[in-house]
Amino acid sequence: MSKLLYCLILLFGTAQALAAETALDQLTRLLQETQSLRGEFTQHSFGLEEELLEESTGHFKLLQPGFFFWEIVSPDSQIFLSDSNELTHYDKDLEQVTVQRAELTTGFTPAQLLSSGGEGLATRFDVTDSTTACEKDSCFRLIPISVNRVFSHMNLQFEGNQLQAIEVVDNFNQLTRITLTIDHAGMPLSEADFQIDIPPGVDIIRNE
């Protein structure tokens, strides 16, 4: 067998395998490859008439499996932390912390999805390829299967294998668009990076 024919057979076999990969397979692979991530974000929320309702900025960290840190620094100051077992919300302006066990959370939040490594994706979402409708390398639309959905649908947009943008449409058809700026120079993350320093005197509410 000539080398050219051998290469053509290999190329054809690879193309067939890629064609057989579903949108669910592709997204699961991309999420699994994202073992850790950190950077800054800009978040815009829009009304039904596409008017800008709110803009916020901050930074985030993600570590597989299950760790997610999201801090809003402007216009207010809030921290959202997930560590697989608990979801914590610290409102610095109100000096109040709310802690809830992860299994008590209604539905499946975007933060839990991104830090799950794709686990449970097939049982929770209908995933379709929406690349033709966006300007990124790979785009996916996720529609929750559960009737207890916390949002209508979500769009994830990737450049190469890097998550670049998230769009969430809530149950009232209002859009939140999040643009990520990835920090490629940061030190590797560990579980110790997912802690919140709570000053004395802050109210802590536990929803058991």
Q: Is the pLDDT of residue 19 over 80?
A: no
Enumerate domains of the chain plus CATH numbers: 23-207 (2.50.20.10)
Encode 23-47: b = buried (16+ Cβ within 10 Å), e = exposed.
Answer: bbebbbebbeebeebbbebebebee
Beta bridge partners of residue 39, listed in sequence order? 60, 182
pLDDT of 6: 37
Q: Is the pLDDT of residue 60 over 70?
A: yes
Q: Which two tokens stand for residue 206?
A: 């536990």
pLDDT of 104: 53
pLDDT of 192: 92
Range with lowest mean pLDDT among 6-10, 124-128, 175-179? 6-10
pLDDT of 65: 85
Give the pLDDT mean for 89-99.
95
pLDDT of 8: 33
pTM of the prediction? 0.81
What percent of the chain lies above the pLDDT cut of 70? 87
pLDDT of 155: 94
pLDDT of 161: 87
**Other CB atoms within 10 A of residue 157 CB:** 22
Give the pLDDT mean for 15-37.
78
Mean pLDDT rounded to a whole number for the chain? 84
Give the up-direction half-sphere exposure of residue 135: CA atoms within 13 A in the CB hemisphere: 0
Name residues whose C-beta falls within 8 Å of residue 45's C-beta, 6 or more positions apart in sequence. 52, 53, 54, 55, 174, 175, 176, 177
Q: How far apart are CA 64 and CA 35, in angstroms?
A: 5
Contact assessment for residue 68 and residue 111, using Cβ atoms and an 8 Å cutoff: yes
pLDDT tens digits, one per residue of 111-125: 777 877 777 788 889
pLDDT tens digits, one per residue of 143-160: 998 877 888 999 999 998
Name residues whose C-beta falls within 8 Å of residue 141's C-beta, 6 or more positions apart in sequence. 127, 128, 130, 153, 154, 155
Confidence of residue 35 (pLDDT cuts 50, 70, 90): confident
* Element holding 10 (H helix, E strand): helix 3-20
Confidence of residue 4 (pLDDT cuts 50, 70, 90): very low
pLDDT of 131: 87
